[in-house]
Amino acid sequence: MRNWLNKNIIALSLVSLFDDFAYELTIAILPAFLISINSSAATFGLIVGIANLFSFLKIISGRLSDKLNTKKQFAVVGYVISSINLCILPFATNWIIVFTSWIFAGIGKSIREPARNALLIESTTPKYYGRVFGFHRTIDSIGAILGPASALFLISFLTFNYIFLISFLASAMAVLILILFVTQAKTDIKISEPISLVKIRELPKQFNLFLIASGVFSLGNFANSLLIFRTIELFSSQKTAILLYTLYNICYTLFSYPAGHLADKFGTKNILTFGYFITALVSVGFMFNINLTVITILFILSGIAAAITNSMSKSLTANLIDGKNHGTGFGLHATISGFAFMIANFIVGFLWSKFSPMYGFGYSAVFCLLGTILLFSLVKNPTLDNF
């Protein structure tokens, strides 16, 4: 077994596999469920965006997990709270209940994510950050394939509520694996005074520039689940939408690990910039009333882009921040991009419902392209430069 692939990384990857299976199974049928109760794209955008309202908790949980050196505990608490979301959904009868459940999803994800990412990087060395995050994202994405694939099968003979229940059981399995098999590395790092919001300027300049670029990009980076909503709107077929979303997750999975290798070789920033640019192109494509061939290509491109942006943003953060502040760096990046992502989902959904998809996806394309330009022009490549 390779020296970067150890028990901790495998266990954390399996945690994400089960959790992502649960999430993707839910998200694959959620647009159809909301349409069945006469909800609009704006409502769906509000629901999937509300989770990011609590992104500020990522700074707090990230910093506390560094200071108290209790990353595993924070991860466990976060995953348990996320499971409450899936515990509520089987009883949902209207969009308000779904909206409420997604609040728990946001709180749980905000608590767990910085600690989980820190556990990953503490289990390896900087030389292998790209590969570790790529491997983790690949295993995570296997769950992302099995989730919508299962939805495609289950939706023919089970009600929405029973499928939501299956999602909850999968999320519970993720919690058990985390508790039983993940260990936290012992470190002698001592954290002194916490970094407050007014002292963000004390963080590395290149990291702050990356936060700006990432924030601008995230103002246009809507949830990919909105593409399911758009497909149902175009073709009036739940199964077509879920099948294309499964294809999206397959591409996501197949490209996640290669993206890490490419980042280690050609520079994390370069690969991430490419991912930003593809996302902008996908937004342009969904502005129009497209046929099945074009929408299939766009789902493939979207999967590749998501594989790059989700993995490489974490890898770039890890490279730009020193070890004692990794949890803080992950938390700060996730908070800024999360708030921007919430705004993006609401605005895209609102413009789509109020005017047309051209306005919603056009807005997205503009901000994704601006983020691409800022990342390319402002941020140095720590894996290529003596930085």
Domain membership flag for residue 128: yes
* Per-residue model confidence (pLDDT) at position 197: 46
Domain membership flag for residue 386: no
Domain membership flag for residue 196: no
**Which amino acid does the sequence have at 93?**
T
Q: Measure the CA–CA gap between 318 and 272, rounded to whole angstroms.
A: 14
R_g of the chain computed on alpha carbons: 19
* Per-residue model confidence (pLDDT) at position 185: 66
Domain membership flag for residue 1: no
Domain membership flag for residue 3: no
Domain membership flag for residue 383: no
* Per-residue model confidence (pLDDT) at position 386: 41
Residue whose token pair is 């999602």: 167
How many domains is the chain built from? 1
Q: What is the pLDDT along the chain (387 residues), one digit of tens a residue?
A: 456 778 888 899 999 999 999 998 998 898 889 888 888 888 888 888 787 777 777 777 767 776 777 788 888 999 999 888 888 988 888 889 999 888 888 898 888 887 888 888 777 777 777 778 778 877 887 888 899 999 989 998 898 989 999 999 999 999 999 999 888 766 544 444 444 443 555 677 888 888 899 999 999 998 888 888 899 888 888 889 999 999 998 888 888 778 877 887 788 888 999 999 999 999 999 998 889 999 999 999 999 999 898 878 877 887 787 656 666 777 788 778 888 988 998 899 899 888 988 999 999 999 999 999 999 888 777 655 543
Q: Measure the CA–CA gap between 311 and 112, rounded to whole angstroms.
A: 16
**Which amino acid does the sequence have at 279?**
T
**Using the 8-state DSSP alphabet, how is residue 193 labeled?**
S
Instruction: Write down the pTM of the prediction.
Output: 0.79
Domain membership flag for residue 114: yes
| Contact call for residues 63 and 196 (beta carbons, < 8 A) | no
What 3-state DSSP class applies to 340? helix
Residue whose token pair is 């029973």: 162
Q: Measure the CA–CA gap between 149 and 194, rounded to whole angstroms.
A: 44
Residue whose token pair is 């939805």: 151
Residue 30: which domain range? 8-181+202-378
* Per-residue model confidence (pLDDT) at position 37: 84
* Per-residue model confidence (pLDDT) at position 200: 59
Domain membership flag for residue 387: no
CATH number at residue 214: 1.20.1250.20
Select from 333, 344, 336 the least CA-distant residue to 368: 344
Select from 86, 100, 66, 77 the least CA-distant residue to 24: 86
Using CA atoms of 49, 277, 215, 202 in order, give the dihedral in degrees to the nearest 10: 150
Beta carbons within 10 angstroms of residue 147's beta carbon? 29
Q: Measure the CA–CA gap between 249 and 120, rounded to whole angstroms.
A: 22
Q: How would you write 203-245 as a 3-class SS string?
A: CCHHHHHHHHHHHHHHCCCCCCHHHHHHHHHHHCCHHHHHHHH
Select from 23, 41, 22, 38 the least CA-distant residue to 227: 41
